Structure 1
Amino acid sequence: MKLNSVFGAVIAFVVMTAPAMADPAVVLAPGSTGGGYDAMARLPFEAMRKEKIFTDGAQFTNRGGAGGTIGLAEFVNTSKGNDNAVMSMGAILIGGIILNNSPVSLKDVTPLVRLTNDTGAIAVPTNSDIKTINDLVAKMKENIGGVAIGGGSAGGVDHIAMALLAKSNGLEASKLNYIPYAGGAEVVTALAGGSTTAAISGLSEFRSLAQAGRIRIIAVTSKERVEGIDAPSLTEAGYPVVIGNWRGIVGAPGMSEEAKKTWLDRFQKMHGTETWKATLKKQNWEDAYLSGDDFVKFLDQEVTNQTATLKDVGLTK
């Protein structure tokens, strides 16, 4: 064999057997740092890193506002065809898309997985004269516009929950004095600082403050009471409202089928790990795993449901 043929064979062997250089994931959270979308963006990658499922690193960006649609627009416009680009999202984003007449929607991305559900919690400052959910409803009946209620983005699941509560008491949801914030961290700050009469956010974001005695939870939005929370569900208190803030992950527009399959496999493996189970417990998240085509069908139904609900409670036409 000629010498150059030997060298050629060696080079070919090295090229074929050398591992491909992997790129870090590019992860966008359409909410502020410290909020629910931020945690949903970062913690799955932390779990995958610890379990050695995905160890190529990740670059995180936060872009909150307008119900998550500002982040969604950036993701759609900058990530097309990027097999390493993913974005956290959830129920609030659907309402944001509808309410803001967003030029981009979930049809423009690649749905991957729903991972969690976060029960909503309604809370007041500890020094408030509002002791129960019935007290809050009574104040709303006296002057609905005089009760400042902080929550997530306009049209999101927090807004819808309060609108449904108002409607169940014969009040006009359009007259709610609802103050939207870019993320859960801002809602917590506003409530703890007394900037709002009451606030609604995920239980995962309110529980630690309640346990520290900084705020008082007066109701949860799950069907039943939540263990460890000294407050009734809205249903138990006589208000037929059950709603949760689910969250998940989508991929970039035009993500290849091969990459989609790879990400679905990674998230499936992560979902079964002890690290992820511990994360769910620590964050007070409910496991709501749903992937692939099942997640796509769920999203289609959620868009239909939220469109009807927003119209029904007078938040959109």
Structure 2
Amino acid sequence: MRIIRTGAAPVGVVLALALAGCSSLAANGGGGSDAAIDELSIVVPAGPGGGWDLTGRSMQADMQEEGLVGTATVTNVDGAGGTVGLANIANATDPNTLLVMGLVMVGAVETNESQARIEDTTPIARLTEEQEVIVVPAESPYETIDDLVEDIKENGKDVSITGGSAGGTDHILAGMLLQAAGMPSEHIVNNLNYIAYSGGGESLAALLGNNVSAGISGVSEYAEQVQAGELRALAVSGEERVDALPDTPTLTEAGYDVVLTNWRGVVAPGTIDEAEKEALTAAVTELAESDAWQATLEEKDWDDAFLPGDEFDTYLDENIAEIQVVLRDIGLVR
């Protein structure tokens, strides 16, 4: 299976503080701001340190720097692969709210059998995509991706792999790798010891503490530690090698027919009207075209995957259907 460029119970009051006090859309800004949106709430449905958190906080800084909003706040609301945040955003009433999300959430909705669906939100834009990297602690006996795969085949759940939320991109890549290595779906379920964390900081700590055998995450989350010699990169998941880790082969180069890149974007409450949707889409489009955001993409080694409004809506429908098939193929859902 090759995917090219595809990155809890509802709690009604979880986002109350995040959404309280946000002003409604203002034609010429309010409170002395020249921005079209006076106050914007960016909700990150994960803990600090991961790709969603980096995305949300980069948006906050760049939108304020470019004067696209008066003020922007970021609130972390983690849980169940982002579906706790999703459950609340779908019916939120403040139009000036964006939820950071992506391929991780697409998978988590299915594996968690979430009552809240991405289809219940208003798609605003896809922003970035990023390759995944498979790493091990620096002192690990695994020198290649083959070493890791063979040990999983021989020792099953004695080999642990950490990453983001269950059913998310990292988990999907682990399953696809074992599938490409010839392991049947039922064996993947029985042999893959995947330890999920809601934030990249937690998985990194587990790796650096030698508490897990390997880890999977976006390149930007592990590149610094690889470059510092604290982690060893075994493979990246895209079609080509990445500049940040030029000596790390792709999975395809290593002999595994797997290509997977993680995408991230933003959605708004499902309750907003067309004018409110257009205003948010316009603000995010200006962000995507800004010098500040282009500098952020280069700094974080994120690929520009901007896709606004209705185009993003269409892409989401196709991606959701595609991931449902993949998750069934690798045994993560029935």
The normalised TM-score by structure 1 is 0.90
Q: 1:269 aligns with which of 286, 292, 300?
A: 286
Amino acid at match of 1:33: P
Separation in 1, partners of 2:291, 2:29:
29
Higher helix share: 1
* Cα-Cα RMSD: 1.5
Separation in 2, partners of 1:228, 1:256:
42
Tell which structure's C-alpha radius of gyration is larger.
1
Equivalent position of 2:275 in the other structure = 258
Separation in 2, partners of 1:153, 1:273:
31
Separation in 1, partners of 2:303, 2:54:
14
Equivalent position of 1:26 in the other structure = 41
Separation in 2, partners of 1:145, 1:112:
40
Identify if the C-alpha distance between structure 1 residues 18 and 129 changes in structure 2 by more than 3 Å, giving closer, same or farther.
Answer: closer
Amino acid at match of 2:115: P
Equivalent position of 1:52 in the other structure = 67
Separation in 2, partners of 1:280, 1:20:
30
Equivalent position of 1:187 in the other structure = 203
Equivalent position of 1:201 in the other structure = 217
Equivalent position of 1:115 in the other structure = 127
Deviation at 1:132, TM superposition (A): 0.9
Amino acid at match of 2:77: R
Equivalent position of 2:306 in the other structure = 289
Equivalent position of 2:84 in the other structure = 70
Q: Contact conserved, 1:114 with 1:290, CA < 8 A, in 2?
A: yes
Shifted more, 165-174 versus 103-112: the winner is 165-174
Separation in 2, partners of 1:231, 1:126:
14
Separation in 1, partners of 2:243, 2:29:
48
Deviation at 1:228, TM superposition (A): 3.9
Equivalent position of 2:111 in the other structure = 99
Separation in 2, partners of 1:59, 1:268:
19
Q: 1:98-117: CA deviations, max 9, x gaps?
A: 01111111121110000001
Equivalent position of 1:42 in the other structure = 57
Equivalent position of 2:171 in the other structure = 159
Identify if the C-alpha distance between structure 1 residues 215 and 261 changes in structure 2 by more than 3 Å, giving closer, same or farther.
Answer: same
The number of equivalent residue pairs is 298
Separation in 2, partners of 1:76, 1:202:
27
Separation in 2, partners of 1:217, 1:42:
26
Q: 1:147-179: CA deviations, max 9, x gaps?
A: 100011111111111101111112222120111
Q: Contact conserved, 2:161 with 2:215, CA < 8 A, in 1?
A: yes
Q: 1:47-82: CA deviations, max 9, x gaps?
A: 12111222x1122211112111111113235x2x31
Separation in 2, partners of 1:238, 1:294:
34
Deviation at 1:19, TM superposition (A): 6.2
Is 1:174 equivalent to 2:202 in the alignment? Answer: no
Equivalent position of 2:6 in the other structure = none
Identical aligned residues as a percent: 40
Q: Match of 2:292, SS? A: helix
Separation in 2, partners of 1:35, 1:159:
15
Q: Contact conserved, 2:90 with 2:268, CA < 8 A, in 1?
A: no
Separation in 2, partners of 1:33, 1:290:
26
Deviation at 1:199, TM superposition (A): 0.5
Amino acid at match of 1:117: E
Equivalent position of 1:90 in the other structure = 102
Structure 2 segments unaligned to the other structure (5+ residues): 1-26, 32-36
Q: Contact conserved, 1:67 with 1:153, CA < 8 A, in 2?
A: yes
Deviation at 1:209, TM superposition (A): 1.0
Is 1:308 equivalent to 2:322 in the alignment? Answer: no
Separation in 1, partners of 2:98, 2:286:
17
Identify if the C-alpha distance between structure 1 residues 18 and 180 changes in structure 2 by more than 3 Å, giving closer, same or farther.
Answer: closer
Structure 1 segments unaligned to the other structure (5+ residues): 1-16
